[in-house]
């Protein structure tokens, strides 16, 4: 069974942050499904309504979304972890809280909240999302390597080692030099890098590759609307959003393979275009220990996990 930071997962399939994990009912759906764990919606300090609707569009081979970090706030997702403590140990799954601060210093404050004793006991891992592509006017931190270093430094400087281990969710990188740059940054926080950036707690425990590709645009064609025949599939940000689905799998695979080659000791979670057990096998071959399901989950609901397990049993 896959293991990250001494947390054992019953199987390799998780939901991707942002997919079927915003409300209590959705999180309970994940707990009672055949997923191997639960990843919360990427949360901010305070609840956010997010962007205007429609903000999600699904097609056969892709999705595009611009939710704008709609979430119920860190206290809600932290408290849900505490509620999970009542679930029998034989059925309780690892719970990962995804964090995506919008303002300067917000990530640090959110992580500090999750480390508070009243919450930390119900949270197995923290996933620091440095790669949200659909908050208007806010850049993706993961594309600024020094900003990434600064965020991680602040987070780990405040780590006393008693809270949940922490990993990062990264954007897709497209240049060979970018793979090396992000690996250099991350290695300094694993305890095995040469950058001299110390940490007092666990050190960086994993990385998730990749978040959706921003900023894409999809048109829907309406032949009955004359001059307005082409309309953007989603409303926010002039129709720009993060693209997921099978079309991005080659980028997910290349990012996992590249980071695994640079940091072979760092556990990786693969994400991007996984819709079958064979897709998951490819990510495993590239170096991922776990896989997150996004677009396929939004299309099929939590039954997608049962289908993936059935595909694996057929292969065996």
Tell me which residues are annotated as active site: 132
In degrees and rounded to multiples of 5, residue 50 shows phi and psi of 80, -165
In degrees and rounded to multiples of 5, residue 58 shows phi and psi of -120, 135
Question: Coil, strand or helix: which one is 137?
Answer: coil
What number of helices (H) and strands (E) belong to the chain? Answer: 10, 16
For 83, counting Cβ atoms within 10 Å of its Cβ (0-12 exposed, 13-18 middle, 19+ buried), the class is middle
In degrees and rounded to multiples of 5, residue 199 shows phi and psi of -150, 150
DSSP secondary structure, 199-224, as one string: -SSS-EEEEEE---EEEEE-EEE-GG
DSSP 8-state symbol, 86: T
Q: Report yes or no: 23 and 77 within 8 Å, Cβ to Cβ.
A: no
In degrees and rounded to multiples of 5, residue 185 shows phi and psi of -65, -50
Ranges of H-type helices in 68-125: 74-84, 106-114, 117-120
In degrees and rounded to multiples of 5, residue 141 shows phi and psi of -60, -35
Residues 6+ apart with CB under 8 A from 8: 1, 2, 94
Residues 6+ apart with CB under 8 A from 184: 145, 193, 195
Q: Which of 282, 274, 283, 284 shows the shortest CA–CA distance to 305? A: 274
Instruction: Locate 165 and state its tokens.
Output: 């281990």
């Amino acid at each position: 069974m896959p293991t990250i930071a001494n947390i054992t997962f019953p199987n390799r399939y998780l939901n991707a942050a942002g997919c079927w994990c915003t409300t209590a009912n959705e999180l309970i759906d994940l707990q009672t499904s055949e997923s191997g764990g639960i990843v919360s919606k990427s949360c901010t300090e305070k609840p956010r309504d997010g962007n205007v609707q429609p903000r999600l569009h699904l097609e056969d081979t892709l999705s595009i979304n611009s939710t704008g970090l709609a979430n119920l706030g860190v206290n809600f997702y932290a408290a849900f972890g505490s509620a999970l403590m009542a679930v029998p140990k034989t059925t309780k799954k690892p719970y990962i809280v995804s964090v995506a601060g919008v303002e300067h210093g917000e990530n640090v404050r959110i992580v500090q909240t999750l480390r508070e004793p009243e919450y930390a006991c119900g949270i197995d891992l923290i996933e620091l999302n440095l790669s949200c592509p659909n908050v208007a006017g806010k850049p993706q931190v993961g594309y600024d390597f020094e900003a990434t270093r600064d965020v991680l430094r602040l987070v780990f400087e405040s780590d006393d080692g008693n809270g949940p281990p922490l990993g990062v969710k990264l954007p897709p990188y497209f240049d060979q030099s970018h793979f090396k740059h992000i690996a250099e940054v991350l290695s300094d926080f694993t305890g095995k890098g040469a950058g001299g950036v110390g940490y007092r707690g666990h050190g960086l425990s994993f990385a998730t590759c990749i978040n959706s590709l921003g900023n894409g645009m999809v048109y829907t064609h309406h032949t009955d609307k004359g001059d307005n025949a082409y309309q953007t599939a989603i409303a926010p940000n002039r129709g720009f959003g993060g693209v997921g689905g099978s079309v991005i799998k080659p980028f997910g695979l290349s990012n996992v393979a590249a980071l695994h080659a640079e940091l072979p000791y760092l556990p990786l979670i693969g994400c991007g275009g996984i819709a079958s057990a064979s897709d998951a096998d490819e990510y495993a071959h590239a170096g991922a220990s776990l896989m997150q399901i996004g677009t396929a989950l939004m299309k099929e609901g939590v039954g997608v996990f049962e289908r993936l397990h059935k595909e694996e049993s057929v292969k065996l």
